[in-house]
Amino acid sequence: RAKTACNSCREKKRKCNGHQPCSNCVKSGHDCIYVPNPRKRRRLNALSSNPDDLRESSSASPQELAAINSGVVLTRSLAGAATVSFPVRLCSWNLGSPMLIPNDLVSGSFSITLLTDENLRAMVDTYFQNIHPVYNFLDPEMVNRAVDYVTSEKPSPGHPVECLLLNICALAALIVCGDDERQAFDSSSRISLEYSTTLESPTLDHVVAWLLRVIYLRMTGLPHATWLASCTLMHFIETTKLHIEPSDQTQTSPCGDDYDPELRRRIYGVARLFHMWISYDYGRPPIELRGATCSLPQNSWTSDEIAVWQISNILNPDRQLDPATLEQLLRQTVELRLPHTVQRLKRCNIGLCIYRRIRVAGCSISDGTENKVLDLVDDGCDLAEELVYGESLPWWHILNFPFQALCVLLALDSKESLVRVKRTLLTLLLLVQTYENDAVKETFANACSLFRIHSQRKKDH
């Protein structure tokens, strides 16, 4: 017999095997939730008055605890015994890579110096027109100076500036290049970063190049490769002391003179945000840098952009959040006003994550809170379709949001939520018709399967 039984088995006085989900919940299709003994929780709360020091006090393993923000847990719960029929961990991760991975990592690679000045500047302009407005962690003038240096001095392969520009071009290639050129930029940018891992003293150019690579992989790569790249990015930040507030540094940092304090804060803030959400979505623990003192950007982020970062940080799986706190975070998320369509769609995804946290806590939600979740679903589907019709970059939110929204609607299982299921399926069908790749088709098929399972379960009961 397991030491701790799940809520459902405890209430029905059944033998629980302690798995997540347990065998009884798999058969019945119930949510398998483990809530600690109230006496133990009161004792834990008495021992620590600092919420940051509190961990989920259930019997869950560290791996299960890390997955508390991931949509995978809810998807598996909805699938029940049918979980084995599809790889839920990969489902809706992103739109998939439009190119084949080369058999020879070196084949198809080239030096940035082989591009003409005109072509290189066109690639850089593409990046600043399409990606920079969303994240704003690069200085256009600094990058233009890097282009001037590369075109005039022709530095040797492996130079930090070449590494930076290759990874800018790899992202731009997703918009303006064919498959062969995309593959060449992908291979070249990866090789330049692999070389950077051999350096004892990498520069901030390398840090930014790794951040660009993480964004690229979040759009095109597999979950584990993306998570590992984001972990590497965190270690590069630690090596270059980017996590230390510029005013606190008592010795020269490896960061170059081109990176002023505010720019360093922006790079650190965006890098941490990416690592947090890649870890959350994949269900892995984020890396916490010891002694981090770097503050958030003071002049270049709006109050709502800062709030996105703060809410994301509060959702760290190590923090025990009570339902009242989670509902307050949801209200705050709904009220955010962000300038870019991608940021607004991310806000909707954050709201769904907060709902999942409330659900994992085993708490019901008020009608007002449910209405806020439904408003986010409506807004998110509109935004996803806007990005599709705008022939945008392959932002992962486009696929991830409608699928996760479908899961939330089925979990809510109310008249108001179920009437919206058709809209999410139509949004996913639009993606199938637009992108026509295996990742999108698989996600749509899995969404239809979950809907059929839910409908059959309601008929059986």
Q: What is the pLDDT of residue 21?
A: 72
Q: Model confidence over 314-350: pLDDT tens digits?
A: 999 988 898 999 999 999 999 999 999 999 999 999 9
Cα separation, 67 vs 78, in Å, equals 16
Omega before 202 within 30 of 0, i.e. cis: no
Q: What is the pLDDT of residue 61?
A: 65
Coil vs helix vs strand at 127: helix
Averaged pLDDT of the chain: 85
Name the amino acid, one letter, at 204: L
pTM confidence score: 0.84
**Are 230 and 279 spatial neighbours (Cβ–Cβ below 8 Å)?**
yes
Cα separation, 419 vs 39, in Å, equals 41
**Are 264 and 208 spatial neighbours (Cβ–Cβ below 8 Å)?**
no
Q: Confidence band (pLDDT; 50, 70, 90) for 43?
A: very low
Q: Confidence band (pLDDT; 50, 70, 90) for 90?
A: low
- Out of 3.40.50.720, 3.40.109.10, 1.10.230.10, 4.10.240.10, which CATH number does the structure's domain 1-35 have? 4.10.240.10
What residues contact 140, with CB distance under 8 A and at least 6 apart? Answer: 128, 132
CA distances from 304 to 36, 265, 292, 343, 349 (A): 35, 16, 22, 11, 16
Q: Which residue has the tokens 């179920």?
A: 418
Cα separation, 259 vs 236, in Å, equals 16
What residues contact 24, with CB distance under 8 A and at least 6 apart? Answer: 6, 8, 9, 14, 15, 16, 17, 30
Q: Model confidence over 9-24: pLDDT tens digits?
A: 877 778 888 776 777 7
**Are 102 and 435 spatial neighbours (Cβ–Cβ below 8 Å)?**
no
Q: What is the pLDDT of residue 60?
A: 60
Q: Confidence band (pLDDT; 50, 70, 90) for 51?
A: very low
Asked whether residue 6 carries a pLDDT value surpassing 50, the answer given is yes
**How many CB atoms are closer than 10 A to CB 128?**
16
Q: Model confidence over 136-187: pLDDT tens digits?
A: 999 999 999 999 999 998 888 889 999 999 999 999 999 999 888 899 899 9
**How many CB atoms are closer than 10 A to CB 113?**
16
Position with higher pLDDT, 106 vs 320? 320
Q: Model confidence over 344-379: pLDDT tens digits?
A: 999 999 999 999 999 887 778 889 999 999 999 999
What residues contact 174, with CB distance under 8 A and at least 6 apart? Answer: 98, 182, 216, 219, 220, 393, 394
Count of residues for the chain?
Answer: 461
CA distances from 330 to 120, 157, 377, 398, 404 (A): 43, 48, 13, 21, 16
Q: What is the pLDDT of residue 46?
A: 33
Q: What is the pLDDT of residue 77?
A: 85
- Where exactly are the structural domains of the chain? 1-35, 112-248+257-282, 320-460
